[in-house]
Structure 1
C-alpha cells in the first residue's frame, strides 16, 4: 500500500473563474459551500493573517464530527489556483495539502479539488477497509456542487 494518497474530484460550472476563486480564496466565504461547515452549528471559527489569498488562515473547533484543525493559504493565483496547508488536530492528526485548480474552458469553468498527504500508520493498516478517497470523496462532491451553486449566483 502506498504511503501517500491523492483524493480528487472536479465539477464544471458556468460561473467565471474569478467568481469561483473569490469563494475559495477568502475563508469567510467557505460557509456558503464547504461540506464540513454544517457539521456543527456551534463550531468556533478563528480567522488570522491576510483577509484572503496567501497568508490567510482559518482555524476551527467543533463537535466530534467537525473535529478541530487549521488551514493556511500558501499560494493564490487569481482565477486559476488556490493552494493551502491543512492541519487536522481532531479526530486524528494529519498534515495535508489541498489544491483548487480553476480551469476556464469552452464548456465552462472546471474546478478541480485535490488533497494529498502522507498515509498515516492508522490509515495504512485500515486503508484496506476504507480509503481516504472513500472517507472524503463524497464530501468533495457535495462541496463542489455547493461551490457551483454559490458561484453561479454571484455577480462577480
Structure 2
C-alpha cells in the first residue's frame, strides 16, 4: 500500500510540475509567420488570395486531397466562405471564411477545422522590386478551463506542423502565380455589364500593325466610307465610333469601324456593311491616352482575366468605343472604352 501511495505522490508531483510549467512558462497562444517572395505584381497575387475558389488551388489541404468535396458561398472578398469534406484523415472537414479584405494589401480569414481547432489567418502583401513579398500569419488562442494547459503543450507540437503547412501553401501559391502574365493591373478599374446590341454600319479595314500612320490612314478611309453612306441614306448615329477587332495575324490587323445608327436599314448596301454591334456580358475599361496606353490596357485586361479565372467568350471579338478623339499634339487625350466579351 505504501508503494502505491508513493506512486500516487510522484504522479501528483509530476502532474503538478507539468501544470505549473504549462501555466506559467508556456504561451497561451500560437503564432506562426512564414514569408516568401512571388515574382509577380501584387494585384495578381491578391487575386489568388482574395477568392477562395482560386485559393483552394494552392491550399495545402487541396494538395493532399484534390478529390475532396468543396462548396462555396458569396463573392470574392469579405464574407466569402469555403467548406470542404474529405475522407483523408489529415484533411477532414472544415470551413474557411474571409472576414476582412483590403484590396491588393491584406486578407484576413478564420479557419475552422471541425472540432479540432479554430485558427485566425492573416496574409499581408507588400510590393517589392521584382514582385510581391507575402507574409502569412496563423494564430490561435487556448480556451479557458481544464483544456487550457493541455492546449499550451499541444501548441508546441502544432507549431512545427503549421510551419510546414504554411510553407507548402506558399510554395504552391508562388508556382501558380508565376504562371500568370507578368503584367501589373493594379490600377485597372474594370466594370462588368450586359451590353445590348445596336444596328451598326461599318467598313472592314485590314492594315499593318507595324505602321501607326498607315493604320490611321486606312481607318480614316473606312470612316469616310461609312459617313458618306450614312449621309446618303439619312442614317443618324446612335452612338460613338466603334471598332470591332476581328483578327491579328502576321503583324496585320483586321477590324470593323463604323457607327451604331437609328433609322430604317437601306435596301441597298454598297461599299460598307450593316450588322449589329457585339453584345452580351462584357468586361470593359475606360482608357485615356495614346495608342501605347490602349495596347497596355489590352495586356492588363488579359492579365486580369487570367488571374481572376474569368473566361472569355469563345469566338468573342473585343471592341472599342471612341468617346473622344485626341489631338495630334497630345494636348487633348484620346478616350477609348475597351470591351472584352465574357462567357
Q: TM-score, normalised by structure 2?
A: 0.42
**Cα separation, partners in 2 of 1:66 and 1:105, compared to 1, 3 Å:** same
- SS of the residue corresponding to residue 102 of structure 1 reads strand
Provide the residue aligned with 1:62 in structure 2. 86
**Mapping 1:136-147, distance limit 5 Å:** 136-147=162-173
Provide the residue aligned with 1:95 in structure 2. 118
**Mapping 1:72-151, distance limit 5 Å:** 72-90=97-115, 92=116, 94-119=117-142, 121=147, 122-128=150-156, 130=157, 132-151=158-177
Query: Is residue 36–residue 135 contact of structure 2 (8 Å, CA) maintained in 1?
Result: yes
- SS of the residue corresponding to residue 75 of structure 1 reads strand
**Cα separation, partners in 2 of 1:52 and 1:127, compared to 1, 3 Å:** closer
Query: Is residue 30–residue 155 contact of structure 2 (8 Å, CA) maintained in 1?
Result: no
Q: Does 1:12 align with 2:37?
A: yes
Bigger shift: 117-126 or 73-82?
117-126
Q: Does 1:154 align with 2:177?
A: no
Q: In the TM superposition, what whole-angstrom CA distance separates every residue of 1:38-73 from its partner, at most 9, and x where no partner exists?
A: 222431111012x20001000111121111111111
Q: Distance in 2 between matches of 1:31 and 1:96?
A: 17
Q: In the TM superposition, what whole-angstrom CA distance separates every residue of 1:13-47 from its partner, at most 9, and x where no partner exists?
A: 11111111111111111232111102224311110
Unaligned runs of 5+ in 2: 1-25, 182-302, 304-343
Q: Distance in 2 between matches of 1:17 and 1:147?
A: 13
Query: Is residue 124–residue 135 contact of structure 2 (8 Å, CA) maintained in 1?
Result: yes
Structure of greater Rg: 2
> Which of 1 and 2 has higher RCO (CA within 8 Å, sep 6+)?
1
Q: Distance in 1 between matches of 2:154 and 2:29?
A: 14
Following superposition, the deviation at residue 6 of structure 1 comes to 0.5
Aligned residues: 151
- SS of the residue corresponding to residue 97 of structure 1 reads strand
Q: Distance in 2 between matches of 1:56 and 1:23?
A: 14
Q: TM-score, normalised by structure 1?
A: 0.88
Query: Is residue 40–residue 65 contact of structure 1 (8 Å, CA) maintained in 2?
Result: no
Unaligned runs of 5+ in 1: none
